[in-house]
């Protein structure tokens, strides 16, 4: 099968936004794209049918840390990889587990070798190294796999940020080496994306982008942003990274973000996004719509029988009303979690599709500037 390829189909005149086509062995992805997060092999509260038919997700994300712990490699390998295990025949991307080791795991210890950590489920001890993480991602079998990195918290002092970045770079070399030594497991090609780190230091970000760019990977990611720093700082570093990372390769900004974060970062040259926000916030009664943000828990929606969102061309989001959705939330019905998650993902996928259409039409930047205040409105 074939290595991931990326073709640019259009650029916005007034910004750095680009539209592209990303080809993997499990199908084609039109960029800019948002990737729903399916942490443990399920996009929370959303069925695979809903993900395909309602959301029309083109690629989803899995978390290596979670999948390694549960169901574990033995089950995933016996299933023939995550695609078959969960019943998803479109592209999958897995992160490297680096982020989770530092955000979720119990006691952990970082060495040159890797990261020793305790499972957040049962306290068992595990060692992630660049090599083991490549091997684990081989077993999971995603189309796009991520390098093992350390994601420093915000804020980090300069010395720590530099030390951490240098370690991430050395780990990156080991990832590439290990991947080259191991064959694709399930017949399709797995493509490694390196991750730029460097915290909030411009010179470190530049050094990291240059190092990453030098690897000639088929796609590149920016990590360590959207970890608590001010939005303007995220945009500044994303813009800076986009200037250095190769223009002919897809750029993935990890863990971002709100609808307006996504539009702003598209305008800077980002092509790929993932975030738990549409599903997690949905489970907490927050709906993102084409007219603004709704807290559906609010009494004001009690007798509002208008659709959740009639502006995104989704039969699902038009089927359920605000009043019914509020009732589901108040009555703690499980369906509330599903409807909110499916709707929010419908909205996110609609948003990136609109962005793409406007890039191709050449009016992305003005559309974006009109949309952002609308999307931010608290309804």
Q: Which is nearer to its own copies, 76 or 192 (CB)?
A: 76
Minimum CB distance to its own copies, residue 292 (Å): 23
Minimum CB distance to its own copies, residue 329 (Å): 11
Q: How many CB atoms lie within 10 A of CB 107?
A: 9
CA 176 to chain centre: 22
Q: Is 363 a catalytic residue?
A: no
Q: Which is nearer to its own copies, 159 or 334 (CB)?
A: 334
3-state DSSP assignment of residue 313: coil
Q: Which is nearer to its own copies, 158 or 319 (CB)?
A: 319
- Find out whether 364 and 352 touch, Cβ atoms under 8 Å: no
What's the Cα-to-Cα distance from 164 to each of 149, 157, 196, 228, rounded to whole Å? 9, 11, 11, 18
Minimum CB distance to its own copies, residue 45 (Å): 4
Backbone angles phi, psi at 278, to 5 degrees: -60, -35
Q: Which is nearer to its own copies, 175 or 339 (CB)?
A: 339
Active-site residue, selected from the candidate residues 12, 143, 271, 274 = 274
3-state DSSP assignment of residue 61: strand
How, if at all, do strands 286-289 and 292-295 pair? antiparallel
Please tell me the total number of residues recorded for the chain in this structure.
379
Closest residue by Cα to residue 84 from 181, 187, 183: 187
Minimum CB distance to its own copies, residue 336 (Å): 8
Residues at the site binding its own copies, with contacts judged by CB under 8 A: 40-42, 44-50, 66, 70-71, 74-75, 78-79, 84-87, 302-303, 305, 316, 319-321, 323-324, 327-328, 330-331, 333-335, 337-339
Q: Is 297 a catalytic residue?
A: no
Separation between Cα atoms, residue 282 and residue 329, nearest integer Å = 10
Query: Any binding-site annotation on 224?
Result: yes
Active-site residue, selected from the candidate residues 95, 143, 271, 309 = 95
Binding residues for substrate: 95-99, 149, 197, 224
Please give the annotated binding residues, written as ranges.
Answer: 95-99, 149, 197, 224
Active-site residues, by number, are: 95, 274
């Amino acid at each position: 099968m074939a290595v991931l390829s990326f073709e640019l189909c259009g650029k916005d005149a007034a910004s750095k936004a680009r539209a592209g086509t990303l080809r993997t062995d499990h199908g084609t992805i039109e960029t800019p794209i948002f990737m729903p997060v399916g942490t443990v092999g399920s996009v929370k509260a959303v069925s695979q049918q809903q993900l395909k038919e309602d959301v029309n997700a083109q690629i989803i994300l899995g978390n290596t840390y979670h999948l390694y712990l549960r169901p574990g490699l033995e089950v995933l390998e016996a299933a023939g990889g995550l695609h078959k295990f969960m019943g998803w025949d479109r592209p999958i991307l897995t992160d490297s587990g680096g982020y989770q080791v530092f955000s979720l795991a119990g006691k952990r210890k970082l060495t040159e070798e890797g990261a020793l950590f305790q499972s957040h489920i049962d306290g068992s001890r595990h060692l992630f190294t660049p090599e083991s993480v490549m091997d684990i991602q081989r077993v999971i079998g995603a189309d796009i796999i991520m390098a093992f990195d350390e994601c420093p918290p915000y804020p980090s002092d300069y010395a720590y940020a530099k030390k951490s970045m240098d370690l991430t770079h050395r780990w990156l070399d080991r990832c590439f080496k290990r991947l080259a030594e191991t064959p694709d497991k399930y017949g399709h090609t797995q493509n490694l994306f390196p991750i730029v780190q460097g915290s909030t230091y411009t010179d470190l970000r530049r050094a990291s982008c240059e190092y990453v760019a030098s690897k000639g990977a088929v796609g590149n990611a920016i990590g360590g942003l959207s970890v608590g720093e001010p939005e303007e700082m995220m945009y500044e570093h994303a813009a800076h990274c986009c200037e250095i990372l190769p223009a002919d390769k897809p750029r993935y900004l990890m863990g971002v973000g709100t609808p307006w974060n996504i539009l702003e970062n598209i305008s800077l040259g980002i092509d790929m996004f993932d975030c738990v926000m549409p599903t997690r916030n949905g489970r907490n009664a927050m709906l993102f719509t084409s007219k603004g943000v709704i807290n559906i828990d609010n009494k004001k929606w009690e007798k509002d029988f208008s659709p959740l969102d009639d502006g995104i061309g989704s039969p699902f989001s038009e089927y359920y009303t605000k009043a019914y959705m509020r009732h589901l939330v108040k009555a703690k019905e499980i369906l509330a979690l599903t409807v909110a998650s499916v709707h929010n993902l419908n909205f996110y996928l609609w948003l990136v599709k609109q962005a793409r259409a406007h890039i191709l039409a050449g009016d992305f930047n003005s559309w974006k500037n009109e949309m952002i205040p609308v999307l931010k409105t608290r309804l």
